[in-house]
Amino acid sequence: MTQTASDDGLDPLRAEIAACRICRDAPLRGVENRLPHEPRPVAVISTKARILIAGQAPGLRVHESGLPFDDASGDRLRQWLQVDRPTFYDRDRFTIVPMGFCFPGYDAKGSDLPPRRECAPAWRQRTLAAMPQIELVLAVGGYAQAWHMKDIRRENMTETVRAWRDSLSMPGGPAVLPLPHPSWRNSGWIKRNMWFEEELLPELRARIKMLAF
Ligand code: SF4
């Protein structure tokens, strides 16, 4: 995402991320596993927003637009949060830092590959350290949950999200709220797990109102 210059001290980090070519020039598992296209890191960082959206990785559409969650998944996520697009893309309200900043390409079946393994070790600690004001992390999907909830993650995504009350009260860091990925692929999951819309979403919306407005 193209971000305008600012005086928040993060522009050097933004520029470093924007210039990153690790997955193209020095991929972890050899050149045959290099990113199959030019990197286009998509991340929104801020010293003001108190909510971090930790997603998975950009899809092709986001890779092309440079705007995170600029797709049907983003529409559903905004509906969960009850925020409109201008609010969602206001970096004073939300930071958006996926587990992999670049579109990873497709697997043999045409599904998006997982986030690049190179990205979190290269950037995540540093990016989070630059945003100590974060009070709530939305861990969207299993990859973000594995990173942000490593000590309390349950046996699978369903059980991790079902135990959302535990992660909200973790000591020693921002509150973490696990969410399923808002992809249409999870529509069946949402229908089967009615507690998600009935119990978790009201709590999520209350916290968004408190921290983003
Ligand atoms: S996915 Fe992350 S580590 Fe890989 S090129 Fe993009 S920004 Fe760099």
- In this predicted structure, what is the pLDDT of residue 176? 96
23 lines ligand 1 (CB under 6 A): yes
DSSP states along 153-167: --SSHHHHHHTHHHH
Distance CA 56, CA 127 (A): 16
Is residue 154 domain-resident? yes
Using DSSP, state whether 53 is helix, strand or coil. strand
User: In the predicted model, what is the mean pLDDT of residues 35-55?
Assistant: 97
Is residue 3 domain-resident? no
182 lines ligand 1 (CB under 6 A): no
pLDDT of residue 200 exceeding 90, the answer is yes
For residue 186, the CA-to-ligand 1 centroid distance in Å is 26
148 lines ligand 1 (CB under 6 A): no
Pocket test for ligand 1, best of 33, 118, 147 (most atoms within 8 A of CB): 118
pLDDT of residue 193 exceeding 80, the answer is yes
20 lines ligand 1 (CB under 6 A): yes
Is residue 4 domain-resident? no
Is residue 187 domain-resident? yes
Is residue 195 domain-resident? yes
User: In the predicted model, what is the mean pLDDT of residues 164-171?
Assistant: 85
- In this predicted structure, what is the pLDDT of residue 18? 97
Residue nearest to atom 4 of ligand 1 (CA): 23
Q: Which of 203, 157, 202, 192 is nearest to 178 (CA)?
A: 157
pLDDT of residue 80 exceeding 80, the answer is yes
pLDDT tens-digit readout, 105-139: 999 999 999 999 999 999 999 999 999 999 999 99
Structural domains of the chain, count: 1
User: In the predicted model, what is the mean pLDDT of residues 51-60?
Assistant: 96
43 lines ligand 1 (CB under 6 A): no
Mean pLDDT taken over the chain = 93
Is residue 2 domain-resident? no
Is residue 5 domain-resident? no
What is the helix (H) or strand (E) element at residue 178, kind and residue range?
strand 175-179
Distance CA 98, CA 94 (A): 13
101 lines ligand 1 (CB under 6 A): yes
Confidence of residue 4 (pLDDT cuts 50, 70, 90): low
The CATH code of the domain that includes 148 is 3.40.470.10
Is residue 85 domain-resident? yes
Q: Which domain does 54 fall in, by range?
A: 11-212
- In this predicted structure, what is the pLDDT of residue 147? 95
Pocket test for ligand 1, best of 116, 123, 126, 143 (most atoms within 8 A of CB): 116
118 lines ligand 1 (CB under 6 A): yes
